[in-house]
Amino acid sequence: MDAVEVKKDIYWVGVKDWNLTEFHGYSTPYGSTYNSYLIIDDKITLVDGVKHYLSHENIARIKSKTDFSKIAYIVVNHVEMDHSGNVPELMKLAPQAKIITNMAGKAALEAHFDTTGWEYEIVKTGDSISIGKRTLEFMTTPMLHWPDSMMTYVKEDKLLLSNDGFGQHYAADTIWVKDMLPGVIMREAKSYYANILFPFGAQAEKALDTAGSLGLDIEMIAPSHGCIWSGKEEVNTILSAYAKWASGENDGKAVVVYDSMWGATATLAEAVASVFQDAGIPVVKHCLAVKNVSEVMVDFVDAKYICIGNPTLNNQLFPRVAGFVTYMRGLRPKNKVGFAFGSYGWKPGVIKEHIYNVFEELGWETIPPFEEKYTPKSDVVEKIIEHTKQMLAK
């Protein structure tokens, strides 16, 4: 794919990582993109780099539009290596360029690379730089999702270069949301939020508030992963979705997550799910033997009820359940009602110690855990059904 003009004299010069299958344990079956943007103006500016092993494609696209000797600025919105991995190579090609970033970004660049000889322009929220016909305005968004994260707004083009905000891990033969099926791209945007930004809802809300207070009139959002949101309707769709996700508002649905060795916990999971079905509450059931943890987390975004089932193994959580609980705990979903259940053979109490206590740590409402030794008979199935109904009163 050649460089693509996204606005007059502003080009997508990023790369497509078609073969990416996972990102920090997050399943990425559609690959991803590392989006980089070149602004042709009196002071030619490159915004964000790409992952190091695809640097040659980024460089070729830049060269198709300008010579590296003419680049005045390289904006580093975020130093995570999928965005900054080739910045040292870019700086060798454009040693005259000044790095624009914030104080945390400068510190992170110096921690990652040999930055000897690099010049910086340090910015903070509300600062702006004229590059000719255009003005670049900056908004720091710390912990969305690194301390150095920020966004760059091209005022005259009403274009927000949002880095990790509003993105999707999705590679396609287009760079435009409008060319994709709406349901697909929103699912991937939601998956990205669930697996990358879930712990930072407060920071996301603050970023949205800051954009409002700065009076940013946004007609296009160009993230650093996935497709570009163009036009007021698409922009409002993703901004509204983020506002809802960040607030912790849910749709009242239930999620049952479990694993099973000999079917006992699976039987309990089916009974738990039936409670919500009978109450007319949407419920989705995930077996960790077949679902990646990141797929499960997408359903946590708009769920109210979370039920996790575990078959105790060697007096511990079952490995896939343990991995999921660790992953979920790190993402810190809020405003949930939790229920831990499962089966055991030798030692009871494992789910209380390692699942129920995590619910309490996260500040969720809970009902007491439920365990059964070995295979649940019909009377036990009735007991867990009655027990699960306590959740409906929460």
> Catalytic residue among 26, 192, 193, 344, which?
192
Cα–Cα distance, 363 to 306 (Å, whole number): 13
From 17, 41, 57, 82, the catalytic residue: 82
Is residue 173 among the annotated active site residues? no
Task: For residues 13 and 47, give the distance between their C-alpha atoms in angstroms, rounded to a whole number.
Answer: 10
Q: Which of 9, 80, 89, 270 is catalytic?
A: 80
- 169 is annotated as an active-site residue: no
145 is catalytic: yes
State the burial class of residue 261 (Cβ atoms within 10 Å of its Cβ: 0-12, 13-18, 19+).
Answer: middle
* Token output for 385: 């059904």
Whether 17 is catalytic: no
Q: Which of 17, 34, 37, 78 is catalytic?
A: 78
299 catalytic residue (yes or no): no
**Exactly one of 11, 30, 145, 372 is catalytic; which is it?**
145
The CB density around residue 182, as the number of other CB atoms within 10 Å, is 11
Give Cα separations from 376 to 308, 320, 342, 381 (angstroms): 17, 22, 10, 6
Cis peptide before 145 (omega within 30 of 0): yes
Q: Which residue in the list 41, 48, 57, 164 is annotated as catalytic?
A: 164
Q: Tell me which amino acid residue 3 is.
A: A
Q: Residue 235, Cβ neighbours under 10 Å: how many?
A: 19
Q: Kind of pairing, strands 128-130 and 71-75? A: unpaired
Tally the residues of the chain: 394
Centre a 10 Å sphere on the Cβ of residue 315 and count the other Cβ atoms it contains.
Answer: 12
Could you confirm whether 164 is annotated as catalytic? yes
- 387 catalytic? Reply is no
Active-site positions?
24, 78, 80, 82, 145, 164, 192, 225
